[in-house]
Amino acid sequence: MKPNESAEDIQIRFALHNVHRAVEDIVRLVKMPEFDLSTPVNHRWDMKDMLAHLVAWHESFAKNLVLLSKGAPPDPPQGTLREVNREGVLALRGQSTDQLIRRLRKAQKLVEANAFNECITVIPYRKPGTSYTRLQHLEVVAHHIQGHFWEMLGKSLIKNEAL
Protein backbone atom coordinates (compact mmCIF):
# COMPACT_ATOMS: atom_id res chain seq x y z
CA MET A 1 0.00 0.00 0.00
CA LYS A 2 1.25 3.46 -0.89
CA PRO A 3 0.82 6.56 1.29
CA ASN A 4 -2.28 8.55 0.37
CA GLU A 5 -3.54 5.69 -1.82
CA SER A 6 -7.32 5.85 -2.15
CA ALA A 7 -9.60 2.91 -1.47
CA GLU A 8 -10.38 2.80 -5.20
CA ASP A 9 -6.67 2.66 -6.07
CA ILE A 10 -6.20 -0.24 -3.65
CA GLN A 11 -9.12 -2.08 -5.29
CA ILE A 12 -7.72 -1.36 -8.76
CA ARG A 13 -4.28 -2.57 -7.70
CA PHE A 14 -5.80 -5.83 -6.43
CA ALA A 15 -7.92 -6.29 -9.58
CA LEU A 16 -4.92 -5.48 -11.78
CA HIS A 17 -2.92 -8.12 -9.93
CA ASN A 18 -5.69 -10.64 -10.65
CA VAL A 19 -5.64 -9.77 -14.35
CA HIS A 20 -1.83 -10.05 -14.45
CA ARG A 21 -1.97 -13.41 -12.73
CA ALA A 22 -4.69 -14.65 -15.11
CA VAL A 23 -2.63 -13.58 -18.14
CA GLU A 24 0.45 -15.35 -16.81
CA ASP A 25 -1.57 -18.49 -15.98
CA ILE A 26 -2.70 -18.66 -19.62
CA VAL A 27 0.87 -18.13 -20.83
CA ARG A 28 2.23 -20.87 -18.56
CA LEU A 29 -0.53 -23.23 -19.66
CA VAL A 30 0.00 -22.83 -23.41
CA LYS A 31 3.79 -23.04 -23.02
CA MET A 32 3.67 -26.43 -21.29
CA PRO A 33 5.38 -28.96 -23.57
CA GLU A 34 2.54 -31.46 -23.25
CA PHE A 35 -0.13 -28.83 -24.00
CA ASP A 36 -1.68 -29.47 -27.42
CA LEU A 37 -2.87 -26.25 -29.04
CA SER A 38 -4.86 -28.23 -31.63
CA THR A 39 -7.15 -29.74 -28.98
CA PRO A 40 -10.76 -28.66 -29.60
CA VAL A 41 -12.26 -26.43 -26.94
CA ASN A 42 -15.71 -26.20 -28.47
CA HIS A 43 -17.42 -26.78 -31.82
CA ARG A 44 -15.72 -23.70 -33.34
CA TRP A 45 -12.32 -23.27 -31.71
CA ASP A 46 -9.23 -25.16 -30.70
CA MET A 47 -6.85 -24.11 -27.91
CA LYS A 48 -4.88 -21.75 -30.17
CA ASP A 49 -8.10 -20.07 -31.29
CA MET A 50 -9.03 -19.59 -27.64
CA LEU A 51 -5.65 -17.95 -27.03
CA ALA A 52 -6.29 -15.69 -30.06
CA HIS A 53 -9.72 -14.84 -28.63
CA LEU A 54 -8.16 -13.77 -25.33
CA VAL A 55 -5.50 -11.71 -27.13
CA ALA A 56 -8.10 -9.93 -29.27
CA TRP A 57 -10.15 -8.92 -26.25
CA HIS A 58 -7.14 -7.92 -24.16
CA GLU A 59 -5.76 -5.81 -26.98
CA SER A 60 -9.15 -4.11 -27.33
CA PHE A 61 -9.20 -3.31 -23.61
CA ALA A 62 -5.63 -2.00 -23.72
CA LYS A 63 -6.27 0.08 -26.84
CA ASN A 64 -9.32 1.75 -25.29
CA LEU A 65 -7.48 2.50 -22.06
CA VAL A 66 -4.68 4.15 -24.06
CA LEU A 67 -7.13 6.15 -26.20
CA LEU A 68 -9.07 7.33 -23.17
CA SER A 69 -5.84 8.18 -21.33
CA LYS A 70 -4.93 10.48 -24.22
CA GLY A 71 -8.36 12.12 -24.18
CA ALA A 72 -9.35 10.46 -27.45
CA PRO A 73 -12.67 8.72 -28.00
CA PRO A 74 -12.67 4.96 -27.41
CA ASP A 75 -12.92 2.49 -30.27
CA PRO A 76 -14.64 -0.61 -28.89
CA PRO A 77 -15.37 -3.61 -31.09
CA GLN A 78 -18.73 -3.35 -32.83
CA GLY A 79 -21.30 -6.03 -33.45
CA THR A 80 -22.82 -8.93 -31.64
CA LEU A 81 -20.67 -10.84 -29.19
CA ARG A 82 -20.53 -13.75 -31.62
CA GLU A 83 -19.41 -11.50 -34.49
CA VAL A 84 -16.77 -9.73 -32.41
CA ASN A 85 -15.42 -13.04 -31.10
CA ARG A 86 -15.28 -14.58 -34.58
CA GLU A 87 -13.59 -11.55 -36.13
CA GLY A 88 -11.01 -11.38 -33.35
CA VAL A 89 -10.02 -15.01 -33.76
CA LEU A 90 -9.94 -14.85 -37.56
CA ALA A 91 -7.74 -11.75 -37.48
CA LEU A 92 -5.16 -13.49 -35.29
CA ARG A 93 -5.28 -17.06 -36.64
CA GLY A 94 -2.09 -16.60 -38.68
CA GLN A 95 -0.04 -15.61 -35.64
CA SER A 96 2.29 -18.10 -34.00
CA THR A 97 1.80 -19.04 -30.36
CA ASP A 98 4.87 -16.99 -29.42
CA GLN A 99 3.50 -13.98 -31.29
CA LEU A 100 0.16 -14.32 -29.51
CA ILE A 101 1.90 -14.55 -26.14
CA ARG A 102 3.97 -11.45 -26.91
CA ARG A 103 0.83 -9.56 -27.94
CA LEU A 104 -1.02 -10.66 -24.80
CA ARG A 105 1.82 -9.51 -22.56
CA LYS A 106 2.19 -6.23 -24.46
CA ALA A 107 -1.52 -5.55 -24.00
CA GLN A 108 -1.15 -6.34 -20.30
CA LYS A 109 1.67 -3.81 -19.96
CA LEU A 110 -0.54 -1.15 -21.57
CA VAL A 111 -3.36 -2.04 -19.20
CA GLU A 112 -1.01 -1.75 -16.23
CA ALA A 113 0.35 1.58 -17.47
CA ASN A 114 -3.11 3.14 -17.81
CA ALA A 115 -5.32 1.46 -15.20
CA PHE A 116 -4.77 4.17 -12.60
CA ASN A 117 -5.60 7.10 -14.88
CA GLU A 118 -8.38 8.90 -13.01
CA CYS A 119 -9.40 10.77 -16.18
CA ILE A 120 -10.92 7.50 -17.34
CA THR A 121 -14.37 7.21 -15.85
CA VAL A 122 -15.91 4.51 -18.06
CA ILE A 123 -14.54 2.10 -20.65
CA PRO A 124 -16.82 0.61 -23.31
CA TYR A 125 -16.68 -3.15 -23.66
CA ARG A 126 -18.20 -3.33 -27.13
CA LYS A 127 -20.70 -1.42 -29.22
CA PRO A 128 -23.57 -1.87 -28.60
CA GLY A 129 -22.94 -3.00 -25.08
CA THR A 130 -22.10 -2.10 -21.55
CA SER A 131 -19.49 0.37 -20.36
CA TYR A 132 -17.61 -0.25 -17.14
CA THR A 133 -15.58 1.72 -14.64
CA ARG A 134 -11.87 0.91 -14.55
CA LEU A 135 -12.36 -1.37 -11.56
CA GLN A 136 -15.39 -3.12 -13.04
CA HIS A 137 -13.61 -3.65 -16.35
CA LEU A 138 -10.55 -5.15 -14.64
CA GLU A 139 -12.81 -7.50 -12.70
CA VAL A 140 -14.65 -8.53 -15.88
CA VAL A 141 -11.35 -9.12 -17.70
CA ALA A 142 -9.88 -11.21 -14.87
CA HIS A 143 -13.04 -13.30 -14.70
CA HIS A 144 -13.08 -13.76 -18.48
CA ILE A 145 -9.46 -14.91 -18.70
CA GLN A 146 -9.74 -17.14 -15.62
CA GLY A 147 -12.89 -18.76 -16.99
CA HIS A 148 -11.18 -19.66 -20.25
CA PHE A 149 -8.07 -20.82 -18.38
CA TRP A 150 -10.14 -23.39 -16.49
CA GLU A 151 -12.02 -24.36 -19.63
CA MET A 152 -8.75 -24.94 -21.52
CA LEU A 153 -7.16 -26.81 -18.63
CA GLY A 154 -10.21 -29.04 -18.29
CA LYS A 155 -10.25 -29.90 -22.01
CA SER A 156 -6.53 -30.60 -21.89
CA LEU A 157 -6.90 -32.91 -18.90
CA ILE A 158 -9.79 -34.78 -20.53
CA LYS A 159 -7.74 -35.27 -23.69
CA ASN A 160 -4.68 -36.46 -21.74
CA GLU A 161 -6.78 -38.92 -19.71
CA ALA A 162 -8.14 -40.40 -22.94
CA LEU A 163 -4.64 -41.13 -24.23
- Confidence at residue 126, expressed as pLDDT on a 0 to 100 scale: 86
Tell me, what's the pLDDT at 112? Answer: 97
The DSSP call for residue 131 is E
- For residue 108, give the nearest of 152, 148, 82, 145 by alpha carbon: 145
Claim: this prediction has a pTM higher than 0.75:
yes
DSSP 132: E
Residue 16's identity, in one-letter code, is L
What pLDDT was estimated at residue 16? 98
Q: Residue 64 in contact with residue 121, Cβ under 8 Å?
A: no
- Exposed, middle or buried by CB within 10 Å (0-12, 13-18, 19+), for 27? middle
- The 3-class SS string of 99-130 reads HHHHHHHHHHHHHHHHCCCCCCCCEECCECCC
Mind listing the pLDDT tens digit of every residue in the chain (163 residues)?
667 888 999 999 999 999 999 999 999 999 999 899 999 999 899 999 999 999 999 999 999 999 999 999 999 999 999 999 999 999 999 999 999 999 999 999 999 999 999 999 999 988 888 899 999 999 999 999 999 999 999 998 887 676 5
pLDDT at 4: 80
Q: What is the model's pLDDT at position 1?
A: 60
pLDDT attached to residue 163: 58
CB-based contacts of 95, cutoff 8 Å, min separation 6: 52, 55, 103
